[in-house]
Amino acid sequence: MLIPVLLVSLTACGTTASAGDRIGSVKEKSDKQIVKKIKKEQSKHKKSKPRKKNAKRSKKKKFNFQGDANHPMVKKSGGRLLYSEAEINHAKHGKYKIKHIDYDKVYLKKGEKQSKVGIYSNVTKDEKVYWKGEEIVRYNQTMRFEDILSKATLNGKPIKLPMKFSDLGKQFSAFDDIDFSVFDYSVHQFYITDTKTGNTLRYLVLPEKKSDPYNGDKNNLTLFLYNSRNQDLINVSVDKSKNEIYELMNLLGMHKYKLAIDNVGIGDTLNEIYEKIGEPDCLLYGTVMYSNGEKYGSVSVEYGDSAYDSKRKKYLNVKNNVATVIFVENKGEKDGK
């Protein structure tokens, strides 16, 4: 009786062992498949990364560079500059926040009233200069204009007027090939675009200025400088006869670049500018002039109650005595010679 029971037990044990082997074999095979599948997915993922980068590059903004490469003003650039009298790339201004503006310091919040104390005061600390008034006031300015101009900077970098476009940065060097001397003032709008960088110079005369767009100076040509993202960088005035920049104009809330004298300028108050630069040559109906009586150059600061804001694309009220426009001019000629 013991033998059959033993056989049954051995058979049962043999059956159980065989099933365990099969289960172990299946499990091992399954694990290998999972590992293989994971490696395959990882391999696909690695291969897909460069494709995504290439896809991003292909979506880079393309510009419609329609224009005349053989126009007399741009002919010597060898096709890099295109001239057009129709709006191409800059029909609409870009929407952007300007980093160098302290919005809390400059713009009034809704319901906020202008303060006239501290840096916003109408009178300097030493009570020598009163900023508000509708008359011409002259002061005894002892600082030489050359000293003031030597402290001029654009985005923190020293500038010296007159200058070439390449002095603004290598990305604008192609504009040095423009022949402004052939420009005809019968044209009231034009665009010159650098096909390599997308930077554009724009000339525009407002309808009421068409009778005298050069303000009596036929060598004067004022232009707007844009980058490839339609952001307004700075305004420049060019001497047509010399093909060089002799003036920079900075507008609060519109220009990405900041023009400053001794680190104060657009967006700062008249009192802050006074503390750095000193007593102005004169006050002229809302304009503060630093010229020392010289005819060949000047620094002028204007202030107003509002300024355009490119971030919101509208005019906003500004705080008291904030510099909204700054001009720096120097033709490199003494006494107008």
Q: Rounded CA gap, 58 and 70, in Å? A: 30
Sign (positive or negative) of CA dihedral 292, 297, 298, 304: positive
pLDDT tens digits, residue range 260-292?
Answer: 999 999 999 999 999 999 888 888 878 898 886
Minimum mean pLDDT among 138-147, 227-236, 282-291: which range?
138-147
Single pTM value for the model = 0.77
Q: Do 265 and 143 sit in the same domain of this protein?
A: yes
Q: Do 112 and 139 sit in the same domain of this protein?
A: yes
Q: Do 283 and 301 sit in the same domain of this protein?
A: yes
Number of folded domains that form the chain: 3
pLDDT tens digits, residue range 28-80?
Answer: 555 666 656 666 665 555 554 445 444 444 445 555 567 899 999 999 999 99
Q: Do 85 and 208 sit in the same domain of this protein?
A: yes
Q: What percentage of residues in the chain have a pLDDT greater than 90?
A: 49
Q: Do 201 and 53 sit in the same domain of this protein?
A: no
Domain that holds residue 55: 1-60
Name 264's bridge partners.
261
Q: Rounded CA gap, 149 and 328, in Å? A: 8
Q: Left, alpha or beta for 20 (phi > 0: left; psi -120 to 50: alpha)? A: alpha
List, as one string, the DSSP characters of 261-287: ETTEETTSBHHHHHHHH-S-SEEETTE
Where a domain ends, among 217, 241, 265?
Answer: 241
Where a domain ends, among 241, 256, 282?
Answer: 241
Q: Do 116 and 15 sit in the same domain of this protein?
A: no
Cβ–Cβ under 8 Å, residues 192 and 83: yes
**Shortest CA distance to 259 belongs to which of 153, 106, 148?**
153
What average pLDDT does range 235-262 have in this prediction? Answer: 94
Q: Do 261 and 331 sit in the same domain of this protein?
A: yes
Q: Do 53 and 135 sit in the same domain of this protein?
A: no
Where does 40-195 show beta strands of DSSP type E? 81-84, 136-138, 152-154, 157-158, 189-194
Average pLDDT of the residues of the chain: 81
Name 54's bridge partners.
none
Q: Do 260 and 335 sit in the same domain of this protein?
A: yes
What average pLDDT does range 134-145 have in this prediction? Answer: 73
Q: Do 149 and 288 sit in the same domain of this protein?
A: yes
What average pLDDT does range 199-213 have in this prediction? Answer: 78
Q: Do 9 and 157 sit in the same domain of this protein?
A: no
Confidence of residue 295 (pLDDT cuts 50, 70, 90): low
Where a domain ends, among 191, 224, 241?
Answer: 241
Cβ–Cβ under 8 Å, residues 300 and 326: yes
Q: What's residue 123's pLDDT?
A: 94
Q: Do 267 and 321 sit in the same domain of this protein?
A: yes
DSSP 155: T
